[in-house]
Amino acid sequence: MKRTHLILLSALASAGGCMDFGGYDEPIVLSQEVDDWRNEVIYQILVDRFDNGDPGNDFGVRGDDLARYQGGDWKGIENRLSYLQELGVTALWISPVVKNVDTDANFDGYHGYWSQNFEATNPHFGDLPALRSLVDAAHERDMKIVIDIVTNHVGQAFYYDMNLNGVPDITLEGNNDVGEFRHYTEYDPDFDPRGVQAFTSLGEAGPAPVVWQYDPATNHLPPQPALFSDPAIYNRKGRTVNFDDPDQLLHGDFPGGLKDIDTTRCDVKEQFVDIYAGWIEKTNADGFRIDTIKHVEYEFWRYFTQRVRTRLAEQGKTNFLMFGEIFDGRDDLIGSFTKNDVPDADTLQREQACVPDGQPLTGDQLDSAFYFSQHFQAVRGVFQDAGPTDQIRALWDQRAENWGTEAMENSTGLIPADAPINFLDNHDVARFLFWLRDRPDSERRALLHNALAFLFFAQGIPCLYYGTEQEFEGGNDPANRERMWDTGFDTSSETFLWTKRLIALRNEYPSLRRGGVQVAYSTSNTGDEPDAGILAFERAGGDAGGSYALAVFNTNQDHDSTTRNGDTAMTVLAPAGTELVDVFSEDRYTVGSDGTLDVTVGPVGRALLIPAAEYEPGI
C-alpha cells in the first residue's frame, strides 16, 4: 500500500514538473577545471547580445536600439555551446552577472557595468540556477567561464544636490549682463578635488549632499549590500575629466555618473572579497575579468587578488585566473598591475591593517592584463595601418620589464610577461573591420585574417570578441555590440572557418600556446623596400618542450615582402638544415648553414613554419 502511494506521488510530481532545481539548491563543490591558462582561447560574450534562450526574462527589450536590452541571456549561451565548441574557443568571458541600474538617460545597463546590487543576479540574464547551469554545461565541454566584475564604481546611484534644492538638476545658470554661465549636471558634475561643492546665490556652501535616487521601475535604488548605501564609502569628487591627473583617475566618478567607491577603505576591500569570492563559491566559475583597473589603487588589487586567491584555493580552486582592463596605451602602466612590486614597508604595514586574519600581504596583483598597448601599436598600428613592425619588437622587448616575470602565490602559475591577454578588439573599441569600412570586402577580410593569425600565434592568451568570426564591423559603443543571433550562428562562413583553423593550429602545436617568443625579423620599412612590413617571430622554449614554430607576417598591403633586405637577413633559432613546412602553402624551407632563412610572403599574408618532423598536415 505504502509503495503504491509512493508511486502515485512520484507520478504526480513528474507530471507536474515538481520544483526541481536540478541540484542547484544544494551546496556547490568548487573544482579545478584548468591545467594551464595558456592553453585556453578566451571568447568575450556580451550576454545580452549573444542569444536569447529564455524569452521569460525579456524585460523591457527594445530590439530597435542597441543602447537598450536585446534579450540575450545565460540560457542562450548554454544553448550555443556547441557552436562555440566547433569554433574551438575554450573559455567564455561573460558580462558582469550582478543586478544593474536598469536604464538611465535612455541607455540600459545591458552591458552589466552599472552595478546596483552586487549580490543579486541580473534578472535579464537569468537566475542563479541558470548561471550555475551555464557553468556546469561549459565544464562538461571542458570550457571555462570567466566572470566580469567591477569594483571601481556603482551605477548612477545618487546625485549631488549642488544647489540644495532637493531635486536633481541639469541646468545652465548665468546672468547675461555679466556674461558668465555655469553649465552643470548634478548627476555627473565635473571633478572637484575638494569634493563636489554645494552653492547658493551667496557662494559655496560646503560639500554637496548626496541624495540617493529612488525609482524602482528603473532600479535606481541605493546600492546593495548595505555598505554601499553609505555615502561615506564614495569619494564624491565628481566626474573625471582629466585621466592623467592621478587624483581624478583614482577618485573621480567614471563618466556617465558612475559613482566612484573609496577602495582604500578596509570595509570596502573586505566586502568586495566577500562578494566576488562569493560569486565563485556560488557558481564554480573559473576566473575574473576585472573592469577599470587603473581607476583603483594598487593597494586594493594587492588585497583583493591575494585574499580571493587564498580563499578559493582553500576550497580547491587553485588555478583561478584574474586579469584586468587597463584601457591605456602605456605598456608600463598596464604592466604595473601585474608586476610584483613590493611596496615599501610602511605602505605594506598600513595595508596590512585591513587584513582581518593577519595573513601577510605581498606585492602580488593580477595574473595578467589586456594587452592594450599591443592593440594600439600592433593590431591597429601595424596589421591595420601597415606601420613599421619594429614597433612590435620594441613593445615586446619591454614586456618582461614592464609586466614582471614572477608568478603570483596560490595562483595560475602564469608569468605575467608570458601571458598577456591578446585581443583585436572588444566592446570598448570599434571593431577591427570598422576602421577598414572604406576598403573593398576582399581587402578587409584579408586584413582581418592576417590579424587573427597574429592573435593566435603571438605569445599570450588570445581573446576573441564575439562576432569577429562572423565579420561584425560595428563602430564604437553601442554599434560594436551587435546581436549575434542575427547571423544565424553560421559555421560555414569564410572567417568562421579561418578562425576555427587558426585555433586548431594553436591547439596542435604546443609552441604556439606555451612557447617563448623571439622576434626573428622586423623592420622599420613600410614602403617599396623588399622587406617592408615583415614581422617574423619564433615560438619555442618555455613550456613547449621541443615544439617549434616560426610565424612570418607580411603586413605590407601592396607587394610581396621577404625576410631579407640587402645584408640584413633573418636568423632563426632552428638548427641549420632544419626543414620547415608552411602549414598554409605546404611550401618547404630549409634553414641555411648560417642559420638564416629567406621567406617571401604575399601582401597581407602570412606563413607558419613548422619543423617537418612536427608538421601535422590537414589542419
Q: Which residues bind another protein (CB under 8 A)?
A: 12-13, 15-21, 24-28, 52-57, 61-65, 75, 79, 119-121, 126-130, 133, 278, 281-282
User: Shortest distance, CB of residue 282 to another protein, whole angstroms?
Assistant: 5
C-alpha cell at 38: 595558456
Cell of 201: 546665490
Bridge partners for 538 per DSSP? 518, 550
The upper half-sphere exposure of residue 27, i.e. CA atoms within 13 Å in the direction of its Cβ, equals 2
CA distance 28 to 348: 35
Closest approach, Cβ 99 to another protein, in A, equals: 11
Task: Kindly state the smallest distance separating residue 153's Cβ from another protein, in Å.
Answer: 23
Q: Which of 75/289 has CB closer to another protein?
A: 75
Task: In angstroms, give the least distance from the CB of 483 to another protein.
Answer: 12
The nearest distance, CB 542 to another protein, in angstroms, is: 37
Q: How far is the CB of 108 from another protein (least distance, A)?
A: 15
User: Residue 409 CB, nearest distance to another protein (Å)?
Assistant: 24
Q: Write down the least CB distance from residue 484 to another protein, Å.
A: 16
Q: For residue 556, what are the contacts with CB-CB under 8 A and spacing of at least 6?
A: 386, 526, 532, 533, 534, 603, 604
Q: Give the residue with the Cβ less far from another protein, 26 or 438.
A: 26
Residue 277 or 458: the one with the smaller Cβ distance to another protein is: 277
Shortest reach from residue 20's CB to another protein, in Å: 8
Per DSSP, the three-state class of 13 is: helix
Helix (H, G, I), strand (E, B) or coil at 147: strand
How far apart (Å, rounded) are the C-alpha atoms in residues 553 and 384?
Answer: 13
Give one DSSP letter per residue of 183-211, joined into a string.
EEETTSPBP-TT-PEEEETTEEEEEPPEE
CB of 25 to another protein, least distance (A): 5
Of 97 and 452, CB closest to another protein = 97
State the nearest-atom distance from the C-beta of 95 to another protein, in Å.
Answer: 18
Q: How far is CA 448 from CA 209, 385, 432, 466, in A?
A: 51, 12, 7, 14
Q: Which is nearer to another protein, 61 or 138 (CB)?
A: 61
Minimum Å gap between C-beta 65 and another protein is 8
Query: Toward another protein, which CB reaches closer, 25 or 142?
Result: 25
Closest Cα partner for 350 from 268, 266, 271? 266
How far apart, in whole angstroms, are the C-alpha atoms of residue 231 and residue 207? Answer: 12
Q: How far apart are the first and last CA of the chain?
A: 64
Q: Which is nearer to another protein, 57 or 561 (CB)?
A: 57
For another protein, which is the closer residue by CB, 56 or 617? 56
- Shorter beta-carbon distance to another protein: residue 75 or 444: 75
Q: 280 or 544: whose CB is closer to another protein? A: 280
Minimum CB distance to another protein smaller for 13 or for 612:
13
Q: How far is the CB of 388 from another protein (least distance, A)?
A: 47
User: In whole angstroms, how close is the CB of 215 to another protein at the nearest point?
Assistant: 14
Nearer to another protein, 65 or 247 (CB): 65
Nearer to another protein, 65 or 397 (CB): 65
Residue by residue, DSSP assigns 296-327 as: S-HHHHHHHHHHHHHHHHTTT--S-EEEE---
Nearest to 130 by CA among 180, 78, 196, 192: 78
- From residue 387, alpha-carbon distances to 2, 379, 569 in Å are 81, 10, 20
Rounded Cα gap, residues 78 and 368, in angstroms: 27
The DSSP letter of residue 615 is: -
Query: Contact, 300 vs 293, CB < 8 A?
Result: no
Nearer residue to another protein within complex by CB, 16 or 440: 16
Q: What is the largest CA-CA distance in the chain?
A: 96
Residues 280, 284: Cα–Cα separation, whole Å: 5
Pairing of strands 548-554, 605-611: antiparallel
Q: Cα–Cα distance between 442 and 422 in angstroms, integer? A: 25
Q: How far is CA 476 from the centre of its chain?
A: 16
Distance CA 214, CA 373 (A): 41
Which residue pairs from 276-281 have beta carbons closer than 8 angstroms and sit at least 24 positions apart in sequence?
276/149, 276/151, 276/304, 276/308, 277/307, 277/308, 277/311, 277/312, 278/119, 279/97, 279/147, 279/149, 280/30, 280/147, 280/308, 280/312, 280/317, 280/320, 281/28, 281/30, 281/312, 281/315
Based on CB atoms, which residue is closest to another protein, 149 or 421?
149
Which residue carries 573592469 as its cell? 291
CB of 14 to another protein, least distance (A): 10
CA atoms within 13 A on the CB side of 542: 27
Minimum CB separation from another protein for residue 231, in Å? Answer: 20
Closer by beta carbon to another protein, 59 or else 181: 59
Residues forming a β-bridge with 174: 181
